Amino acid sequence: MNLLQSVELLLAIQRVSSPFLDLLMRGISLLGSEFFYFGVLVLLYWRTQRAFAIRLAFVVLVSLYANFLLKALFALPRPAGAGLRILETPEDFSFPSGHAQSVASFWLFLAFSLREPLYFWLSGILTFCVALSRMYLGVHYLGDVVFGAFLGVFFAWFLARFFTRVSLPTLRPWAAGALLVLGSLMLFLFAPTPPAVKVAGSLSGALSGYFLTTLLGLRERSLELRAYLWGAGMVLAVYLGGKMVPWNGALWLFGRYFLVNCCATFFVPLLVESMRKRRDW
């Protein structure tokens, strides 16, 4: 029996299943979802942590983009077998696990950045719990989550070293803008699946918004509660409005996620700053 692709192992994990565990494992699995990362990163960005939030977003999104490239390359099917409960229906392939990889990338990069032992322990515990939840939900084999976690550790380690040891030259605004346009185009063209297109649009939008915020010299200061609520409502309106538009295709999917992330990183800080100048906030 190949333990790394064993349906029997998943069945053994599911023998202790219950409605409470189903709910718990779904909740733990959400720690590796796009909504969790987006919420946490936006809060950091709006709380005077723009540069750190952008670096953390870059780590997670680059890691996920690589994950979707590998999924398309290997094209391995999701677990299936008699008696196996499938509690989620992901839209992409199985290997490697994006949830395990992104959780390892996010929390381990946080640990490398803060240099606190607690975060190293937390990254290991959360990665294990999310990996277990993905197997319990019947959507990943053991090999998927192990290799995904390994990749997440690699990206966190490599990019942490990159950000601390590599000094990038200061670019003129036109050069930085050109790189953003070229990078966004390359990410879009090489995205093999709709989830990869979403990640490409999110990364391009977040970086573009941060570039515009820096270019215009918008002050970095924490938002008040009503500004948080107003900003969250604005981002949600852009997200839901984009879903309601009856357009299809990869280009529009890229554009939707670009707009949502650019809204969070640029338009919300811009409009809040404009309101503050009018002394309304």
Domain boundaries, the chain: 1-167, 172-281
Tell me the whole-structure pTM to 2 decimals. Answer: 0.90
Q: What is the pLDDT of residue 49?
A: 81
Distance (Å, rounded) from C-alpha 151 to C-alpha 129?
Answer: 17
The alpha carbons of the chain give a radius of gyration, in whole angstroms, of 20
Query: Which residues fall within 8 angstroms of residue 77, CB to CB, at 6 or more apart?
Result: 93, 94
Q: What is the pLDDT of residue 217?
A: 83
Task: Dig out the tokens for 238 from the structure.
Answer: 């852009």
Q: What is the pLDDT of residue 248?
A: 84
Q: Would you write out the chain's pLDDT as a tens digit for each of its 281 residues?
A: 588 888 899 899 989 888 899 999 999 999 988 889 998 998 889 887 888 899 999 999 999 999 999 999 999 999 888 788 888 888 888 999 999 999 999 999 999 998 888 889 999 999 999 999 999 999 999 999 999 999 999 999 999 998 887 655 555 666 667 777 788 888 888 888 999 999 999 999 998 898 888 888 888 777 777 878 888 899 999 999 988 888 888 999 999 999 999 999 999 988 888 877 776 54
Q: What is the pLDDT of residue 183?
A: 83
Smallest CA-to-CA distance from 182 within 169, 195, 194, 171 is with 171
Cα separations (Å) of 145 from 5, 22, 89, 240? Answer: 11, 19, 17, 31
